[in-house]
């Protein structure tokens, strides 16, 4: 590591710069292939863009389908508010607004190298830290998501990495303000991607127990962190109650996501034939009954389907598990059938990341590493939400930093074991020669 190439390979500044260049280069290459009028509109034709447009027009957090359907809690507020600010500055549905949104996504994705580097360094040292950061910098999903999805995907990945890093740092903290800052970070994460809340109690509990074992702060510190996170979310929860007269802590659309992955379209023997889901029909139904009633109907339909199709539900769950980790329900077939080199790289990287994640957990377990729990609970608990609803590759991106770190730890363990094997072989050979 003392040589010039070694120093360059572990330079965080260089890694972040390469990550920026890779993402900007991909965006530049792709935008030249797409007409400007398409770039100005199509990337924003989804829920985040629709709500941002309503905000930019001064109509509030509303109109999730871009029709005038009133207030919504379909999404958490942070990313739509960011997009609304971009619309106010660069104009709604303009090429400039698209490039501004991509620029922020690139910054979020590239900045994730920093917590990944320092988190991995704290766990097992500089070489693994550099490897993890390099993998993130050049990971295909991390390179193309900032351009392909004008959504909170890249910001969620940054927040996921920061949360893990902050959790480990709390072990050394004796200051109340650090724990309150941790709560603020969690508040921001919950208001960006509420799915991250699935691991909140586990990480906070682990941090509290570790601090307790170090004879540092008492229980009022983690309680303050919890209360701070709740206070950050409270204004949004109050707004939702005022708008719907219903308790909606963060986001209202879980019932819809559950129904999307569990409905009669998956049943070949449905009495009314295989139903079709169209955006126009769902928008019409949503506008007719309102958001809360629409969600109640979808929840009832999904629960009824799950209860009446236990065998099929097991199959669907298995398919969603494969899709979450591999990007598609039939990865081998899709890998062989595609003509896209990029898609094949993504499939290949998904396999390496998945294998590396489990390998990294094995390494941490064998070493009895104290930091195993935060990483293990992240990759074990977070996906469960998508195992029961439905999944896309971008949903996993929030925990991809943890997966990349585990992959780096697996690589470190593999090379360490190989080196030990080579060393033992040389020692045996020398001993035999002396004999």
pTM: 0.92
Confidence label for 429 from pLDDT (cuts 50, 70 and 90): very low
Q: Is residue 430's pLDDT more than 50?
A: no
Structure tokens at 321: 């598990």
Confidence label for 414 from pLDDT (cuts 50, 70 and 90): confident
The predicted structure's pLDDT at residue 423: 42
Q: Is residue 417's pLDDT more than 70?
A: no
Q: Rounded to an integer, what distance in angstroms lies between the CA atom of residue 373 and that of residue 383?
A: 16
The predicted structure's pLDDT at residue 172: 78
**HSE-CB of 4 using CA atoms within 13 angstroms:** 0
Burial of residue 178, with CB atoms counted within 10 A of its CB: 0-12 exposed, 13-18 middle, 19 or more buried: middle
Rounded (5°) CA angle 194-22-156 = 5
Here the contacts of 319-325 (C-beta below 8 Å, separation 24 or greater) are 320/261, 320/386, 320/387, 320/388, 320/389, 320/390, 320/391, 321/383, 321/387, 323/391, 323/392, 324/383, 324/386, 324/387, 324/391, 324/395, 324/396, 325/350, 325/354, 325/383, 325/396
Average pLDDT, integer, range 215-227: 83
**pLDDT single digits (tens) 110-168:** 999 999 999 999 998 899 999 999 999 999 999 999 999 999 999 999 999 999 999 99
The predicted structure's pLDDT at residue 375: 94
The predicted structure's pLDDT at residue 278: 79
Greater pLDDT, 159 or 393: 159
The predicted structure's pLDDT at residue 433: 46
Give the mean pLDDT of the chain.
89
Average pLDDT, integer, range 294-306: 95
Closest by CA to 381, choosing from 189, 195, 116, is: 195
The predicted structure's pLDDT at residue 5: 63
Average pLDDT, integer, range 376-401: 94
Q: Is residue 359's pLDDT more than 60?
A: yes
The predicted structure's pLDDT at residue 428: 43
Confidence label for 226 from pLDDT (cuts 50, 70 and 90): very high
Q: Is residue 355's pLDDT more than 80?
A: yes
Q: Rounded to an integer, what distance in angstroms lies between the CA atom of residue 370 and that of residue 388?
A: 31
**pLDDT single digits (tens) 47-102:** 999 999 999 999 999 999 988 889 999 999 999 999 999 999 999 999 999 999 99
Structure tokens at 90: 């660069």
Confidence label for 421 from pLDDT (cuts 50, 70 and 90): very low
**pLDDT single digits (tens) 227-249:** 999 999 999 999 999 999 999 99
Backbone angles phi, psi at 327, to 5 degrees: 95, -15
Q: Is residue 4's pLDDT more than 80?
A: no
């Amino acid at each position: 590591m003392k040589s010039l190439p070694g120093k360059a390979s572990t330079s965080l500044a260089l890694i972040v710069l390469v990550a920026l260049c890779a993402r900007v280069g991909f965006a530049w290459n792709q935008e030249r292939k797409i007409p400007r009028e398409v770039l100005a509109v199509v990337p924003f034709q989804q829920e985040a863009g629709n709500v941002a447009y309503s905000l930019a027009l001064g109509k509030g957090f509303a109109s999730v389908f871009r029709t005038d359907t009133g207030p919504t809690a379909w999404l958490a507020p942070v990313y739509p508010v960011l997009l609304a600010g971009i619309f106010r500055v660069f104009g709604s549905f303009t090429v400039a607004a698209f490039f501004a949104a991509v620029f922020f996504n690139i910054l979020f994705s590239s900045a994730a190298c920093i917590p990944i580097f320092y988190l991995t360094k704290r766990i097992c040292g500089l070489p693994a830290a550099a490897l993890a950061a390099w993998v993130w910098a050049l990971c295909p999903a991390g390179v193309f998501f900032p351009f392909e999805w004008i959504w909170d995907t890249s910001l969620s990945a940054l927040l996921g990495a920061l949360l893990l890093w902050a959790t480990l740092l709390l072990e050394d903290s004796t200051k109340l303000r650090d724990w309150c800052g941790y709560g603020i970070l969690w508040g921001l994460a919950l208001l960006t991607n509420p799915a991250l809340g699935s691991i909140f109690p586990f990480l906070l509990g682990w941090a509290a127990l570790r601090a307790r074992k170090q004879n540092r702060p008492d229980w009022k510190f983690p309680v303050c962190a919890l209360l701070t996170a709740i206070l950050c979310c409270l204004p949004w929860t109050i707004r939702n109650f005022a708008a719907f007269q219903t308790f909606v802590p963060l986001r209202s659309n879980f019932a819809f996501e559950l129904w999307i992955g569990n409905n009669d379209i998956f049943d070949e023997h449905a009495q009314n034939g295989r139903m079709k889901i169209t955006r126009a029909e769902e928008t019409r139904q949503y506008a007719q009954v309102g958001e809360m009633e629409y969600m109640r109907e979808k929840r009832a339909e999904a629960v009824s389907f799950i209860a009446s199709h236990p065998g099929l539900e097991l199959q669907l769950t298995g398919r969603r598990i494969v899709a979450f980790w591999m990007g598609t329900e039939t990865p081998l077939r899709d890998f062989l059938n595609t003509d896209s080199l990029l898609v094949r790289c993504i499939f290949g990287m998904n396999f390496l990341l998945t294998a590396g994640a489990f390998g990294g957990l094995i390494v941490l377990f064998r070493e009895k590493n104290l930091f195993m729990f935060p990483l293990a609970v992240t990759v074990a608990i977070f996906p469960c939400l998508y195992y029961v609803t439905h999944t896309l590759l971008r949903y996993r991106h929030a925990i991809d930093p943890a997966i990349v770190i585990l992959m780096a730890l697996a690589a470190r363990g593999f090379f360490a074991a190989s080196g030990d094997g080579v060393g033992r072989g040389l020692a045996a050979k020398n001993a035999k020669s002396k004999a």
